[in-house]
Chains A and B, each alone.
Chain A
Amino acid sequence: MRAAPPLLLLLPALVLVPVLIALPLLLHGGGWELLGQFLQGAISPSLDPLVLNSVITGLGVTLGMALLGWAVSLVLGFVLGLASSRVIWQSLSGTALPAELVRRILAIPRAIHELIWGLLLLQLVGQQPAVAVLAIAIPYGALVARVVSDLLDALPTRNLEALRAGGAPAGTALLTALGPPLLPGVISYGGYRLECALRSATLLGVFGLGGLGNELVLTLQSLQFHELWTGLWVLLAVMLGLESGIGALRRRWGMPARFGLGARSVGQQGRELVLTLLALVPLLLWVGNALEVDPRSLLQWQPLPPLAPQGWASALALPWPSMVLQTLVLTLLAAALAVGVAPLLLLLVAPWPWGRRLLQLIWAFGRLWPPPLTALLLLFVLKPGVVTAALALGFHNLGILGRLLLEGAEATGAATEDALHCSGSGPRLALLYGRFSGLARSYLAYGAYRADVILRETVVVGLVAGTGLGAQLRESLSSFAWDQLAALLAMYVVLTLVGEDLSDRARRRLLRPA
Chain B
Amino acid sequence: MGAMQVPSPNTTPPVLALEAITVKGRGRPRLDGVTLQIAAGERVALLGPSGAGKSTLLAVANGLLTPSGGQVLWDQQPRAHSARGRLRQQARIGTLWQDLRLIDELTVQQNLNAGCLARWGWPRAVLNLLLPIDSAACAEALQRMDLDPELLNQSVAALSGGQRQRVAMARMLRQEPTLLLADEPLANLDPRLAADLLELLLEQAGAPRALLLSLHRPDLLQGFDRAIGLRNGQIQFDQPVSEIGPEQIQRLYGAEATSP
Interface set of A (CB-CB < 8 Å, partner B)? 1-7, 351, 415-416, 418-426, 428-430, 432-434, 437-438, 440-441, 514
Contact = CB atoms under 8 A, between A and B. Distances in A.
Contact of A422 (B95, B114, B157): B95
A351 B102 CA distance: 23
Contacts of A424: 87-93, 117-118, 175
30 contacts: A2-B130, A3-B129, A4-B105, A4-B107, A4-B130, A5-B106, A7-B126, A415-B101, A416-B101, A416-B103, A418-B101, A419-B95, A422-B63, A422-B90, A422-B93, A423-B117, A423-B172, A423-B175, A424-B88, A424-B118, A424-B175, A425-B114, A425-B118, A426-B87, A426-B118, A428-B122, A429-B125, A430-B117, A433-B106, A433-B114
B130 A437 contact: no
A420 B62 CA distance: 12
A475 B87 CA distance: 60
B85 to A, nearest CB: 11
B64 interface: yes
A432 B87 contact: no
A423 B105 contact: no
Contacts of B110: 4
A219 to B, nearest CB: 44
Contact of B97 (A419, A430, A432): A419
B131 interface: yes
B112 to A, nearest CB: 12
B150 interface: no
B104 interface: yes
Contacts of B118: 423-426
B53 interface: no
Interface string B175-204: 101000000000000000000000000000
B130 A429 contact: no
B62 to A, nearest CB: 5
Given A3-B130, A423-B91, A433-B117, 19 more contacts: A5-B105, A5-B106, A6-B129, A7-B129, A415-B99, A416-B103, A419-B97, A423-B95, A423-B118, A424-B90, A426-B117, A426-B118, A428-B122, A429-B117, A429-B122, A429-B125, A433-B103, A437-B103, A440-B105
A441 B155 CA distance: 15
Interface centre among A424, A434, A440 (most CB of B within 10 A): A424
A415 to B, nearest CB: 5
A50 B131 CA distance: 63
B14 interface: no
B131 A1 contact: yes
Contacts of A440: 105
A54 B26 CA distance: 53
B64 A423 contact: no
A429 to B, nearest CB: 5
A408 to B, nearest CB: 14
A416 B171 CA distance: 13
A2 B103 CA distance: 17
A278 B43 CA distance: 67
Contacts of A7: 126, 129-130
A432 B131 contact: no
Contacts of B126: 7
A79 B95 CA distance: 56
Contacts of A437: 103-106
A16 to B, nearest CB: 16
Contacts of B91: 423-424
A426 B114 CA distance: 12
A420 B90 CA distance: 10
A147 B76 CA distance: 61
A434 B97 CA distance: 14
B172 to A, nearest CB: 8
Contact of B117 (A3, A4, A351, A425): A425
A314 B148 CA distance: 71
Nearest to B103: A437
A438 B104 contact: yes
A428 B83 CA distance: 12
Contacts of A429: 117, 122, 125
A434 B102 CA distance: 9
A415 B95 CA distance: 13
B41 interface: no
B115 interface: yes
A423 B89 CA distance: 9
B89 to A, nearest CB: 8
B94 interface: yes
Contacts of A4: 105-107, 110, 129-130
Contacts of B122: 428-429
Given A5-B105, A5-B106, A514-B155, A423 B130 contact: no
B62 A432 contact: no
Contacts of A441: 105
Query: Which residue of A418, A421, A430, A433 has the most chain B CB atoms within 10 A of its CB atom?
Result: A433
A207 B119 CA distance: 55
A109 to B, nearest CB: 39
A492 B61 CA distance: 61
A423 B129 contact: no
Nearest to B87: A424
Interface string B64-101: 10000000000000000001000111111111010101
Nearest to A413: B103
B118 to A, nearest CB: 3
A223 to B, nearest CB: 43
Residue from B64, B88, B118 with most neighbouring chain A CB atoms (10 Å): B118
B110 to A, nearest CB: 6
A420 B105 contact: no
The 4 tightest CB contacts between A and B, nearest first, are A424-B91, A424-B118, A419-B101, A425-B117
Nearest to A513: B157
A4 B127 CA distance: 10
A422 B62 contact: yes
B129 A425 contact: no
Nearest to B110: A4
Contact of B83 (A2, A351, A430): A351
Contacts of A420: 114, 117
Contacts of B88: 424
Most chain A beta carbons < 10 A, residue from B63, B125, B129, B175: B129
Contacts of A422: 62-64, 90, 93, 95
A418 B114 CA distance: 13
Contacts of A434: 103
Nearest to B64: A422
A413 to B, nearest CB: 9
Contacts of A2: 130
Contacts of B106: 4-5, 433, 437
A423 B115 contact: yes
